[in-house]
């Protein structure tokens, strides 16, 4: 299994540009989520999904959109990038059997918005 994969690894955007961060998993996990990691702030949940066709907002959803058309893929869209969105983004997945489940993380995407 490849586990959780993310593309691209690095991205530089100009303010106002849009882009999509890709996330895929091959473990048949129902639950997928996006986090951003900023220095001194740990990881903060942006959006999550408990299955295909179902998404919900996390702690910091503003400026981001998600969709979940398949079990495997969970892309994160930035419609109009802002410098405040400069961060490292992690996708994670787990089975949806309950809160004891372990989340598996992708390698991350480092995004810089100029």
Partner 1 sequence: AQSVAQPEDQVNVAEGNPLTVKCTYSVSGNPYLFWYVQYPNRGLQFLLKYITGDNLVKGSYGFEAEFNKSQTSFHLKKPSALVSDSALYFCAVRDPGGNEKLTFGTGTRLTIIP
Binding site for partner 1 (CB under 8 A): 4, 31, 33, 35, 40-45, 48, 50, 58, 90, 92, 94, 96, 99-108
Smallest distance from partner 1 to CB 54, Å: 12
Smallest distance from partner 1 to CB 99, Å: 5
Take residue 61 and report the two structure tokens written for it: 């959803």
CA distance 111 to 8: 9
- How, if at all, do strands 10-13 and 109-113 pair? parallel
Place of tokens 């408990």: 50
Take residue 32 and report the two structure tokens written for it: 């997928």
Beta carbon nearer to partner 1, 16 or 107: 107
Smallest distance from partner 1 to CB 102, Å: 5
């Amino acid at each position: 299994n490849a586990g959780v994969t993310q593309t691209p690894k690095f991205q530089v955007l100009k303010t106002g540009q849009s882009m999509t961060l890709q996330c895929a998993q091959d473990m048949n996990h129902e639950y997928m989520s996006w986090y951003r990691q900023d220095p001194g702030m740990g990881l903060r949940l942006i959006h999550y999904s408990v299955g295909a066709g179902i998404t919900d907002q996390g702690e910091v959803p503003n400026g981001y959109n998600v969709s979940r058309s398949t079990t495997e893929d969970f892309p994160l869209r930035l419609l109009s990038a802002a410098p405040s969105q400069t961060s490292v983004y992690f996708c994670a997945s787990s089975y949806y059997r309950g809160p004891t489940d372990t989340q598996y993380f992708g390698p991350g995407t480092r995004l810089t918005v100029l």
